[in-house]
Amino acid sequence: MLRTEGLTKRFGGIVATDNVDFELEADELCSLIGPNGAGKTTFFNLLTGALEPTEGRIEFKGEDITESSPQETASLGIHRSFQITNIFPTTTVLENVRIAAQAKSNKSLHLWRNFSAYDEFQEEAHQILERVGLDDRADEFAQSLSHGEKRKLEVAIALAGDPDVLLLDEPNAGVSSESVGEIIDLIEDVSRDHAVLLVEHNMDIVMTVSDRIVVLNQGSVIADGPPEDIQDDPKVQEAYLGGYEEGQLGTDTEAETTSEEGVA
């Protein structure tokens, strides 16, 4: 469904993404892992049109989208959440999702019209909020949510418009260890009817939910396979896992630091 061929991004002398060949199937949950500075966020930004590749090609459903803008990419059915929570804090939880759903429709030019005129979007927003466990907070301002609930809201926003592919950038970032189970349940739920590409530092989540794991190091793919193979791969152990064993929640929970060039 989504594939790259020779995808490369250079920032001056820095090669952030180096000749990456990648493919995501329609029914797959693939996790993208690697040390800080491996190029994961850059790769996300290339897939969504936020960055233009230096070399290579991106295809979605057989169509070349290499030069597509973020708006065009989203309209095609590729939606993303962000490493840093990206919501409208002073509007209600419902309005955050309703606006996102409306923005994906041909009625987006009237984005700020009274939402009661758009019952279809309001109903869609309620259904999505119920799915992520936030429908009981629908009429509250988004800024009143806990951090974990804001992460759920961001996933809800990404779900608006019924995308084919969800790119989830650290949905567990800043979430308390007590809420990890809820995040796992949410990721597994959305993966039932969406292709998902997940960036996540919590290795228990990665090993639990992933059909497949791709490991980046210094912009290049160093391993690609099922979780059990990745866990035992010597190259991955050396570059990233450092002796990970199941149950070590948040082996690398420190949020990636993104440089001015967007390399992460």
Task: Return the half-sphere exposure (C-beta side, CA atoms, 13 A cut-off) of residue 10.
Answer: 7
The SS3 assignment for 228 reads helix
How many Å apart are CA 128 and CA 126, to the nearest integer?
Answer: 5
On whether the CB atoms of residues 178 and 160 are closer than 8 A, the answer is no
Question: Would you state the pLDDT for residue 242?
Answer: 63
Q: Are strands 55-60 and 2-11 parallel, antiparallel or unpaired?
A: antiparallel
Q: pLDDT 10s digit of each residue in the chain, 264 long?
A: 999 999 999 999 999 999 999 999 998 999 999 998 899 999 999 999 999 999 999 999 999 999 999 989 999 999 998 755 678 899 999 999 998 888 776 554 455 555 455 678 899 999 999 999 999 999 999 999 988 899 899 999 999 978 999 999 988 887 777 778 888 899 999 999 999 999 988 888 899 999 999 999 999 999 999 999 998 899 888 877 665 555 544 444 333 333 334 455
What structural domains and CATH numbers belong to the chain? 1-77+163-264 (3.40.50.300), 91-162 (no CATH)
Q: How many CB atoms lie under 10 A from the CB of residue 15?
A: 18
The SS3 assignment for 23 reads strand
DSSP 255: P
Q: What's the predicted TM-score (pTM) here?
A: 0.83
Alpha helices in 27-108 (DSSP H): 40-47, 70-76, 93-103
Question: Would you state the pLDDT for residue 83?
Answer: 59
How many Å apart are CA 242 and CA 51, to the nearest integer?
Answer: 31
How many Å apart are CA 202 and CA 108, to the nearest integer?
Answer: 37
On whether the CB atoms of residues 191 and 105 are closer than 8 A, the answer is no
How many Å apart are CA 252 and CA 120, to the nearest integer?
Answer: 41
